[in-house]
């Protein structure tokens, strides 16, 4: 191999490596920009119409990502997962939509697109239904059942990512399989992500 062929081979290899690094960096920047845009577009919306605090304490948000298995394993310690009781108006809304329960625990998630995001655990007998709900300070925009525990033959669980991609699974732990992915639109609706 002569000197010119060697130099040409090194140049081609270097160009290929640079192209790969550039594509990886572009992907990382795109993902970071999306997160920044989502965070810049959100304002803090008061959840007072929908949630009840003790002695008018301030509301504490739960961090994302929210992994159901970690939450379930920890058995809802309030220090790690602060939760609130819901207002009568929100309770009436849930009952009207076939989610009457004996108890309601609501986890406040970070707001997105100027909307409150609530994860509500509806306890009914030996079952728990997990509802994710979007609301502004005046009205409820959309809701979706994302999990159900109780009947062992019909368990569904979920994870909520930092980017609000919600993964709904059939089953629990090792035996779970993904059913669908859901995201939130700027208009305050849940939509299925097509793959």
Residue 123 CA neighbour count, 13 Å, CB half:
8
**24 backbone dihedrals φ, ψ, rounded to 5°:** -65, -40
pLDDT band (50, 70, 90) for residue 154: confident
Calculate the alpha carbon distances from 156 to 87, 98, 152 in Å: 26, 18, 10
Is 13 a residue whose pLDDT tops 60?
no
Q: Percentage of the chain with pLDDT > 90?
A: 42
Question: Is the pLDDT higher at 60 or at 113?
Answer: 113
Do residues 148 and 127 make contact, with C-beta atoms less than 8 angstroms apart? yes
Is 176 a residue whose pLDDT tops 60?
yes
**What is the mean predicted confidence (pLDDT) over 79-98?**
89
pLDDT band (50, 70, 90) for residue 58: confident
Question: Is the pLDDT higher at 65 or at 53?
Answer: 65
Residue 181: strand, helix, or coil: strand
Non-local CB neighbours of 147 within 8 Å, separated by 6+ positions: 68, 128, 129, 130, 156, 157, 158, 168
Element (H, E) at 39: helix 3-40
Non-local CB neighbours of 187 within 8 Å, separated by 6+ positions: 141
Whole-structure pTM value: 0.73
Question: Is the pLDDT higher at 151 or at 124?
Answer: 124
Q: How does the average pLDDT of the chain come out, rounded?
A: 79
> What confidence score (pLDDT) does residue 33 get?
43
Q: Give the span between the Cα atoms of 151 and 159, in whole angstroms.
A: 20
């Amino acid at each position: 191999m002569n000197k010119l062929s060697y130099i040409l081979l090194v140049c081609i290899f270097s160009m290929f490596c640079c192209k790969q690094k550039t594509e990886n960096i572009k992907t990382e920047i795109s993902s970071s920009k999306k997160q920044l845009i989502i965070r810049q577009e959100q304002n803090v919306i008061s959840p007072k119409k929908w949630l009840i605090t003790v002695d008018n304490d301030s509301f504490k948000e739960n961090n994302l990502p929210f992994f159901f298995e970690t939450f379930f394993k920890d058995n809802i310690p309030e220090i790690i997962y602060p939760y609130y009781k819901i207002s009568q108006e929100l309770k009436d809304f849930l009952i009207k939509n076939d989610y009457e329960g004996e108890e309601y625990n609501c986890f406040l998630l970070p707001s997105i697109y100027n909307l409150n995001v609530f994860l509500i655990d509806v306890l009914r007998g030996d079952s728990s239904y997990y509802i994710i709900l979007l609301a502004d300070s005046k009205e409820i925009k959309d809701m979706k059942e994302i999990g159900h525990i109780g009947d062992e033959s019909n368990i569904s669980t979920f994870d909520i990512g930092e980017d609000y991609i919600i993964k709904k699974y059939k089953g629990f732990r090792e035996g779970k399989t993904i059913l669908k992915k859901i995201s939130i639109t700027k208009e305050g609706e849940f939509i299925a992500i097509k793959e």
